[in-house]
Amino acid sequence: MRRSDNPPCRSTHTSDMALTQVSSNKCAGGFQKVFEHDSTELKCKMKFAVYLPPKAESDKCPVMYWLSGLTCTEQNFITKAGSQQAAAEHGIIIVAPDTSPRGCSIEGEDDSWDFGTGAGFYVDATQEPWKTNYRMYSYVTEELPKLINSNFPTDPDRMSVCGHSMGGHGALICALKNPGKYKAVSAFSPICNPMQCPWGQKAFSGYLGSDKSTWEAYDATVLAASYSGPQLDVLIDQGRDDQFLSASQLLPDNLIAACSEKKIPVVFRLQPGYDHSYFFIYSFMNDHIKHHAKYLSA
């Protein structure tokens, strides 16, 4: 019988997938943990948080990946979003990686809050000096799921993706670029059309270069316009008083129009009085976990 103070973390025999536990806290009957590992994609040490619900003591569980926004680490989500209780109730493991490589000694990586450290934008960079380390897309879609499935009691066929702001952009492109891989997708205040907004243009030109045709592979609105996979039900919450909505950084109408054209079902909820903060995410987190649970159930 497994002791309740030692939740499952299966050891792995491959040295490049070894984990070091950074912290562990009992939470909502399960455990909120943080681990560190040497990333092969990002060529640096990376941290990620994983919430193990009580059900993980005895059964394999589905996994929801959470992608955070600009300037965040794994800590913002696990301390502010209030996801653990609903994850415990629905038996879902939640994995929240960091938002970029860190400490790579790249000139300029710490010069700006919306590019470089804390701002990986979930793309695979093709430009120097970023292309060696800034491969967040491959990290969150390939390396991290393999790591999680090798070390925790997961059902590899049941995973979903959710995120906020830059991470909402990340969640949408992960789902749209990999039809059928993710059972559900949702987002809070996502950057929906990065090719057309200042944040995206700055990041894409730096990471991907000046050829805008290469940017299309990481733009949810463009991807939705050409989507041809299985039905994907999208849930998006957007605060009506979000300063970045009024600043034309998020552009949800463009994505909604593209999804409508392709008959991709989108529930878009414009929430009066809410801004871009974690107070907003906390207020509707349970709805999003219920949305994911509906599609992740066996």
Q: Among residues 266, 119, 244, which one has the least CA distance to residue 190?
A: 244
Q: Among residues 93, 107, 7, 17, which one has the least CA distance to residue 50?
A: 93
In angstroms, what CA-CA distances link 197 with 14, 28, 124, 245, 272?
42, 39, 19, 11, 23
Number of alpha carbons in the 13 Å side-chain half-sphere of residue 78: 26
Q: Among residues 77, 120, 124, which one has the least CA distance to residue 99?
A: 120
Q: How far apart are the C-alpha atoms of 190 and 164, rounded to whole Å?
A: 6
Structure-block tokens of residue 92? 């879902």
Burial 220-234 (b: 16+ CB within 10 A, else e): bbbbbbebeeeebeb
Give the residue numbers marked as catalytic: 165, 242, 276
